[in-house]
Amino acid sequence: MARRIEFKVGLFITIVTILILASITYVAYRKDVFSIVHTYTLSSKTGENLTVGMPVAVWGFTIGKVSSLELNDQGIVLIQIKIPERHIRMIRANSKFILDKPLIGIPRIVVQTSDLGDRPLSPQAIPELTESNDINEIIKRAQPIIEKADRIMANIEGITAKLDDPEGDVNRILRETETLIARFSKRDSLLEIAIGDPESIKAIHESLRKIKEITARVDGILQRIDAMAGKTDEELYGPDGVLPQFRNILRDLLMKLAKIDTTFDNINQVSAEAVDSTKNLKGLRNELDETIMTIRNLADEIDRKIPFKTQPEIKLP
Amino acid sequence: MQAFLTDHRLNVGLVSPEVPLISNLPVWSNIALIRQYHENLPGEKSRALVIDLLERFGMTSIAEKRNPFLTEEERFCVMFIRAATIRDAIVCLDRPFRLLPARPGGRFFTEALQKIDDLIAEVHIFDYSREKEPYETNDGAEN
Amino acid sequence: MRTTSSLLGTLAFAAGVFLSIFDRRTYNSASRTVFIHQFYFTSVQILPLFLSVAAVFGSLINGMAFQVIKNLGLTDYLGRLLMGFVVTELAPFVTVLLLALRSSAAINAEIAVMKVNRELDTLEHFRIDLLHYLFVPRILSGMLSMIFLTSVFALVVLSVGLIVSGLIFGTGVDAYFDTLLNAADIFDIIVLLIKCATFGFFITMIPIGFGLRATRELTSIPVSVLNGMVTVFLAIIIIEVLSSIIRFI
């Protein structure tokens, strides 16, 4: 009886001890408790928003944490971060350390490494921690885009005026094309006949192609801004916020480009008297080219200043 | 008697209703407990020792029994053996007829003593003077 | 006044018991036997019932909780729910309640009966230290039982959780383990182990203390058990609150 009890107790203790130790060891292993940890020191002029245990992240993944904070004799805050061995390749000499204070959620230190092939950061080096504040940063980034959008609006206004003006280029072309319809209604390649200049035809086709291309790009950006606006702060993205206004401008732009596109489609379907039409179309094409160029620059600017490409969706922390 | 117990408290083994068997332990554990605790004797060895001692009394069958299931005589013998397992035991019987109301003759004590004589240094019986007769010896101590 | 003195008495007794845990004389063949038997009655004998309770309770809790977090769209919090609530809070609480109901009551009654029957006097006569032989092995057994049974409970509930999350969320084994690992924190596990040990210490120490308060009268046994169990319940609440304060503040 006594031996049976001893056996059962021994068996139970052994099995459960193994299970407990295995579980704890596995969790500890996955949490890098056993891995070699490298310590780096960063400097900052202020300790505000810095806390021990704050995560250190690369591309949204936590790779380490702040282990200690210290104020030195020169009044500089020294921040020690601990990075496990397996993440050490993310910390290079060119790495930039940014204190990221998101709109929602806890602050964290973001490591930006442009060249992973660069030499490792020396443990003796003390890189400076720069600060990033989501709201101010986005407003700062958005400001030149808004200015540029204003200039585009002026150009668009010009084009719109021509569309609306009964004596404007587009309307005049339309009237002329209507006349041509009667004459050459049964002919093929009516545009060629109307203009009589192969170079001009080519240029107009090119412009049309560019408009479609740019329209698609701007539309894509709008969709991404829509996705972003649905997830962020009311103040920034609300009805009176910065990005909705910008979005409205772009929508207006798209609408107007669509009008021009339709006009050109109409032209393409009609005939016209060659000499007069060529002159009018050339003038319009130049204006169109200028607008296209500006829109292209704007699109590039947006892509450059808001990092949609690497981060398709702005995630909340 | 109290003075005697105090003087010999390191190796006195009392057999008395005031020092009962532990009811949630089997007989063998009650006896083995002393050496297990003081000498760190392993469970199996101490059990073997107890079985050997019980065998001398022809009572191995009661090894797994508990106190409430013992007869008066069995209970007395177990308490007697327990007292004897102390090193250089000075066994002290405190009014033994309280444990043995059937009042067996003095021969019972002598025989019991002879069975575990090798373990015991001294035996002292404390009882009233009027109870002197049942004991075969005439030099029983008085309380 | 009386309550304060009772509390101080209990704390002084706890301190004595705690110091005896580190006393070499505690560890001998007799104490080992007591420990093994107590552990058997507390942990092994209860195992079939305990596993059934863990499986049923685990299924219910997991089923309800997973359904709620799915409806609220909080599936990201699955790991935190399991590790932060089920493992670190629910598992020790259910375990301590079961052990208190079963073993604490039994220990309290056993010590009270020994006191009434003068069996404690027997031990003292044979120079067997009550702390070393009777109390510490029982308390160690209680501490170890709490840790082991809580771990068993947690493992059963997490295993049931794997099945339930597979049914409700379609979660695979790897994804489930990753979710748990992300939510697991070594600090929480250490606090959990300390909490279990503390629970085990007090749910055995208090009944022993109250068992010793019994008089020579048989009628003192139920009174001793009643008072002991109420105090055990209060101790459970206090430890639960203190551990929450340590974890969350």
The C-alpha atoms of residue A108 and residue A30 are separated, in whole angstroms, by 21
Residues C92/C97/C103/C108 CA torsion (nearest 10 deg) = 120
Q: Are strands B120-127 and B89-94 parallel, antiparallel or unpaired?
A: parallel
Q: What is the pLDDT of residue B117?
A: 85
> Left (φ > 0), alpha (ψ -120 to 50) or beta: where does B137 sit?
beta
Q: What is the pLDDT of residue B79?
A: 94
Nearest CA in chain C to A6: C36
B43 contacts C126? CB cut-off 8 A: no
Delineate the domains of chain B, giving CATH numbers in brackets: 2-142 (3.40.50.300)
| CA angle A69–A73–A77, rounded 5-degree value | 30
A→C contacts (Cβ < 8 Å), by residue, are 2, 5-6, 8-9, 12-13, 16-17, 19-20, 23-24, 27-28, 30-31, 33
Q: What is the pLDDT of residue A204?
A: 59
| DSSP-derived 3-state class of residue A157 | helix
B20 contacts C119? CB cut-off 8 A: yes
Q: What is the pLDDT of residue A235?
A: 46
The C-alpha atoms of residue C45 and residue A5 are separated, in whole angstroms, by 10
How far off is chain B from C101, nearest CA to CA, in Å?
Answer: 20
Q: What is the pLDDT of residue A272?
A: 46
Phi, psi dihedrals of residue C20, rounded to the nearest 5°? -65, -25
Nearest CB among A8, A12, A30 relative to C181 is that of: A30
What's the Cα-to-Cα distance from B130 to each of B3, B95, B135, rounded to whole Å? 22, 11, 11
What's the Cα-to-Cα distance from A142 to each of B5, B86, C235, rounded to whole Å? 97, 93, 60
Please count the CA atoms within 13 angstroms of the CA of B34 that sit on its side-chain side.
27
Closest CA to A236 of A107, A140, A105, A110: A140
pLDDT one digit per residue (tens) for chain A, 317 residues:
677 899 999 999 999 999 989 988 888 887 777 888 888 999 988 888 888 888 888 887 788 888 888 888 888 899 999 888 888 888 888 888 988 877 666 788 999 888 888 888 888 888 888 877 655 666 666 677 777 777 777 776 666 565 556 666 555 655 655 564 555 444 444 445 445 555 655 665 665 566 666 666 656 655 665 565 455 555 445 565 545 555 565 566 666 566 666 655 565 555 444 445 555 556 666 666 666 666 666 666 655 555 444 444 444 43
C125 contacts B37? CB cut-off 8 A: no
What's the Cα-to-Cα distance from B127 to each of B46, B91, B94, C121, C125, rounded to whole Å? 32, 14, 6, 21, 20
pLDDT, tens digit, 9 for 90 and up, residues B93-142: 888 888 887 777 777 888 888 888 888 888 888 877 777 777 655 444 44
C37 touches chain B (CB under 8 A): no
Does the pLDDT value for residue C221 go beyond 90?
Answer: yes
Nearest CB among C151, C155, C184 relative to A27 is that of: C184
Q: What is the pLDDT of residue C196?
A: 94
pLDDT, tens digit, 9 for 90 and up, residues C125-140: 999 999 999 999 999 9
The C-alpha atoms of residue C113 and residue C134 are separated, in whole angstroms, by 13
Phi, psi dihedrals of residue A63, rounded to the nearest 5°? -115, -10
Structural domains counted in chain C: 1
Nearest CA in chain C to A17: C148
B21 touches chain C (CB under 8 A): yes
B10 contacts C127? CB cut-off 8 A: yes
**Alpha-helix residue ranges (DSSP H) falling in chain A:** 2-30, 134-164, 169-184, 190-195, 198-229, 234-237, 242-269, 274-305
Instruction: Give me the residue spans of the domains in chain A.
Output: 37-127, 136-305
A1 contacts B64? CB cut-off 8 A: yes
C113 contacts B18? CB cut-off 8 A: no
How far is the first Cα of chain C from the last one, in angstroms, to the nearest whole number?
A: 32
CA C11 to chain centre: 19
- For residue C182, the enclosing domain spans 26-248
| DSSP-derived 3-state class of residue B15 | strand
Residue A44 pairs in a beta bridge with: A77
Does the pLDDT value for residue C218 go beyond 60?
Answer: yes
C47 touches chain A (CB under 8 A): yes
B43 contacts A1? CB cut-off 8 A: no
A2 contacts B43? CB cut-off 8 A: yes
pLDDT, tens digit, 9 for 90 and up, residues C51-106: 999 999 888 888 888 888 878 877 767 777 888 888 888 899 999 999 999 999 99
User: What is the token pair recorded at B97?
Assistant: 């007829």
C43 contacts A12? CB cut-off 8 A: yes
Counting residues of chain B whose pLDDT is more than 90, the rounded percentage is: 41
What's the Cα-to-Cα distance from C213 to each of A144, B62, C38, C83, C112, rounded to whole Å? 83, 33, 21, 41, 7
C36 contacts A12? CB cut-off 8 A: no
Three state DSSP letters for chain C:
CHHHHHHHHHHHHHHHHHHHHCCHHHCCHHHHHHHHHHHHHHHHCCHHHHHHHHHHHHHHHHHHHHHHHHHCCCHHHHHHHHHHHHHHHHHHHHHHHHHHHHHHHHHHHHHHHHHHCCHHHHHHHCCCCHHHHHHHHHHHHHHHHHHHHHHHHHHHHHHHHHHHHHHHHCCCHHHHHHHHHHHCCHHHHHHHHHHHHHHHHHHHHHHHHHHHCCCCCCCHHHHHHHHHHHHHHHHHHHHHHHHHHHHHC
How far off is chain C from A5, nearest CA to CA, in Å?
Answer: 7
Count of beta carbons in the 10 Å neighbourhood of residue B102: 9
Closest CA to B118 of B53, B25, B40: B53
Q: What is the pLDDT of residue A148?
A: 76
How far off is chain A from B26, nearest CA to CA, in Å?
Answer: 11
C127 touches chain B (CB under 8 A): yes
Span C142-149, average pLDDT: 95
Q: What is the pLDDT of residue A166?
A: 64
| CA angle A146–A148–A153, rounded 5-degree value | 90
User: What is the token pair recorded at A103?
Assistant: 């709109």
How far off is chain C from A36, nearest CA to CA, in Å?
Answer: 17
A1 touches chain B (CB under 8 A): yes
B→A contacts (Cβ < 8 Å), by residue, are 43, 47, 64
The C-alpha atoms of residue B33 and residue C110 are separated, in whole angstroms, by 18
Q: Long-range contacts of range C22-29, CB-CB < 8 Å, 24 or more positions apart? A: C23/C132, C25/C129, C25/C132, C26/C131, C26/C132, C26/C136, C26/C137, C28/B36, C28/B37, C28/B40, C28/C132, C29/B36, C29/B37, C29/B40, C29/B41, C29/B42, C29/B43, C29/B46
Which residues of A are less than 8 Å from C147 in CB distance? 20
pLDDT, tens digit, 9 for 90 and up, residues C186-196: 788 888 899 99
Q: Which of residues 10-39 of C touch A (CB under 8 A)?
A: 33, 36-37, 39
Q: Which of residues 10-29 of C touch B (CB under 8 A)?
A: 28-29
A interface test, pick of C42, C151, C153, C159 with most A CB neighbours within 10 Å: C151
A2 contacts B64? CB cut-off 8 A: no
Phi, psi dihedrals of residue A119, rounded to the nearest 5°? -65, 155
Phi, psi dihedrals of residue A93, rounded to the nearest 5°? -60, -30
The C-alpha atoms of residue B72 and residue A219 are separated, in whole angstroms, by 103
Q: What is the pLDDT of residue C170?
A: 76
A2 touches chain B (CB under 8 A): yes
Nearest CA in chain A to C83: A27
Closest CA to B93 of B135, B35, B42, B31: B135
Nearest CB among B10, B24, B37 relative to C28 is that of: B37
Nearest CA in chain B to C121: B19
Letter for the amino acid at A93?
A: A
Chain A: list its partners (3+ Cβ pairs within 8 Å): B, C
C44 contacts A6? CB cut-off 8 A: no
In a domain, C118, yes or no: yes
C126 contacts B86? CB cut-off 8 A: yes
Which residues of A are less than 8 Å from C189 in CB distance? 24, 27
C113 contacts B23? CB cut-off 8 A: yes
Query: Does residue A60 or residue B49 have the better pLDDT?
Result: B49
Residues B98/B104/B108/B113 CA torsion (nearest 10 deg) = 10
